[in-house]
C-alpha cells in the first residue's frame, strides 16, 4: 500500500496553489489551514458517502467492473480521501474507487481523513480528477466555470492553479456554449472535443445540432467537420437567389458585369446598371455639359 505521505505528495501536485499555505520558520510550509496529518484508516464502506460537489457526473460501468475485478484480486492500492461528516465520511477524492469497492463486495475501505473547509472540498476533488484525467470535457469545463465564479480568479490565475495553459481553460469554457444535445454527445463520447470546437464556428445552435448528428451518423473526422463548417459558413455569406438583385436578369451578375464593361469602354465614362426586380435602369456619369453633348451624340449614332 502506498504510504500516506507519498499519497499526499502525489495528490498535492498543484493543490498548494489552490489552498492557502503559511510560511513556518525559515521558509518551510505548513499543511493547509484546518488540515491535520492523519494515517490510513479502515472504515465500514457503508459509512462513506459520495461527494455532493463531485465534478465528475458520469461513471462508466464497464471500467468500474474492470477496476472492481482488479480490487478483488489485488486489493485497493490507494486509499481514498475523505472528511468527517458527523458519524459518517464524505469523499473528497476517489469516488470511482469507492464505487468499484462496492461492486467488489468489500465491507471496509481504506481512507485518509482530511479536515477541509467546505470551499476547499470542490477544489481538491477537481484537482484529483484533472490529474487522473477522469473528467469528460463538459464536466471539466463546468468545473472550471464554477471555480472561476466561486473564487473570483482570472483564467490566467486558474490555469496556474490547475497546471494548465490558459488556452486550455479558454477552449474548455467555450464548450459550454454548445447546445444541450451536443453537450450530451460529448459526454457520451459520441463526438470528441475536436469535433465540438469545430462545431462552435457555426453561427446558430440549430446548425451545430444538425452537424453533430451528421458526425455521429457518418463517423466524420474532425478535419471533415472543419471542411463542412467552412463550406456552410461560405454558403451563408454568399447571397441567396432571392436576395440577389441580378437573379432575374438572364446570365445573372456575370452577364451584367460584361455589359457594364462594354458600355464603359464604348462611352468612355462610368456606367452602372441598377436592377429592380425584373426591371432596372442604366446610369451614365458625365462631368460637364460638353461631355453630356458628346455622350448624346455617341448614343444617337
Q: What is the pLDDT of residues 274-286, one digit of tens each?
A: 877 778 888 988 8
Q: In this predicted model, what pLDDT tens digit does every residue of 39-53 receive, in sequence order?
A: 788 899 999 988 776
Distance separating alpha carbons of residues 272 and 274, to the nearest angstrom: 6
Q: H-type helices in the chain, by residue range?
A: 4-11, 15-18, 61-74, 95-103, 118-132, 137-151, 155-161, 166-174, 180-188, 193-199, 205-218, 222-237, 252-267, 289-300
Mean pLDDT in residue range 239-256: 69
Confidence of residue 150 (pLDDT cuts 50, 70, 90): confident
Q: CB burial class (10 A; 0-12, 13-18, 19+) of residue 32?
A: buried
Task: Compute φ and ψ for 205, nearest 5 degrees.
Answer: -60, -35
Residue 19 has pLDDT above 70, yes or no: no
Residues sharing a CB contact under 8 Å with residue 274, sequence separation 6 or more, in sequence order = 280, 281, 282, 283
Q: How many CB atoms lie within 10 A of CB 284?
A: 15
pTM over 0.85: no
Confidence of residue 158 (pLDDT cuts 50, 70, 90): confident
Q: What's the confidence (pLDDT) of residue 240?
A: 58
Mean pLDDT in residue range 164-174: 89
Q: In this predicted model, what pLDDT tens digit does every residue of 186-237 receive, in sequence order?
A: 988 899 989 999 999 998 899 999 999 999 999 999 999 999 888 888 776 6
Tell me: domain 136-177, CATH 3.40.50.1820, correct?
no
Q: In this predicted model, what pLDDT tens digit does every residue of 237-246 receive, in sequence order?
A: 665 555 666 6
Residues sharing a CB contact under 8 Å with residue 207, sequence separation 6 or more, in sequence order = 232
Confidence of residue 8 (pLDDT cuts 50, 70, 90): very low
Q: What's the confidence (pLDDT) of residue 216?
A: 92
Residue 100 has pLDDT above 80, yes or no: yes
Confidence of residue 109 (pLDDT cuts 50, 70, 90): very high
Of the candidates 104, 9, 93, the residue with the CA atom closest to the CA atom of residue 48? 93
Q: In this predicted model, what pLDDT tens digit does every residue of 209-218 receive, in sequence order?
A: 999 999 999 9
Topology adopted by domain 4-135: 3.90.1530
Least confident residue range of 6-20, 162-176, 195-209: 6-20
- Catalytic residues, by residue number, are 95
Q: What's the confidence (pLDDT) of residue 178?
A: 94
Residue ranges of domains in the chain? 4-135, 136-177, 191-237, 243-300
Q: What's the confidence (pLDDT) of residue 239?
A: 57
Amino acid at each position: 500500500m502506498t504510504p500516506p505521505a507519498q499519497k499526499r505528495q502525489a495528490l498535492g501536485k498543484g493543490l498548494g496553489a489552490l489552498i492557502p499555505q503559511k510560511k513556518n520558520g525559515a521558509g518551510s510550509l505548513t499543511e493547509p489551514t484546518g488540515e491535520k496529518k492523519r494515517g490510513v484508516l479502515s472504515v465500514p464502506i457503508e459509512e462513506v458517502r459520495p461527494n455532493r460537489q463531485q465534478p465528475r457526473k458520469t461513471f462508466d460501468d464497464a471500467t468500474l467492473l474492470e477496476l472492481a475485478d482488479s480490487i478483488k484480486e489485488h486489493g485497493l492500492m490507494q486509499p481514498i480521501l475523505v472528511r468527517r461528516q458527523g458519524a459518517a465520511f464524505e469523499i473528497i477524492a476517489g469516488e470511482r474507487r469507492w464505487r468499484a469497492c462496492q461492486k467488489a463486495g468489500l465491507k471496509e475501505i481504506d481512507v485518509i481523513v482530511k479536515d477541509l473547509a467546505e470551499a476547499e472540498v470542490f477544489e481538491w476533488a477537481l484537482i484529483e480528477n484533472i490529474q487522473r484525467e477522469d473528467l469528460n470535457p463538459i464536466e471539466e469545463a463546468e468545473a472550471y466555470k464554477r471555480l472561476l465564479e466561486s473564487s473570483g480568479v482570472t483564467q490566467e490565475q486558474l490555469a496556474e492553479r490547475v497546471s494548465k495553459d490558459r488556452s486550455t481553460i479558454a477552449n474548455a469554457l467555450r464548450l459550454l456554449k454548445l447546445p444541450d444535445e451536443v453537450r450530451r454527445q460529448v459526454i457520451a463520447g459520441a463526438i470528441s472535443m475536436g469535433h465540438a470546437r469545430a462545431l462552435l464556428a457555426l453561427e446558430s445552435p440549430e446548425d451545430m445540432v444538425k452537424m453533430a448528428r451528421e458526425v455521429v451518423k457518418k463517423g466524420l473526422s474532425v478535419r471533415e467537420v472543419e471542411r463542412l463548417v467552412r463550406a456552410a459558413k461560405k454558403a451563408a455569406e454568399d447571397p441567396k437567389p432571392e436576395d440577389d438583385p441580378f437573379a432575374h436578369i438572364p446570365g445573372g451578375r456575370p452577364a451584367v458585369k460584361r455589359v457594364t464593361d462594354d458600355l464603359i469602354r464604348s462611352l468612355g465614362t462610368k456606367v452602372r446598371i441598377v436592377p429592380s426586380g425584373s426591371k432596372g435602369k442604366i446610369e451614365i456619369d458625365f462631368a460637364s455639359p460638353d461631355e453630356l453633348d458628346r455622350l448624346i451624340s455617341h448614343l444617337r449614332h
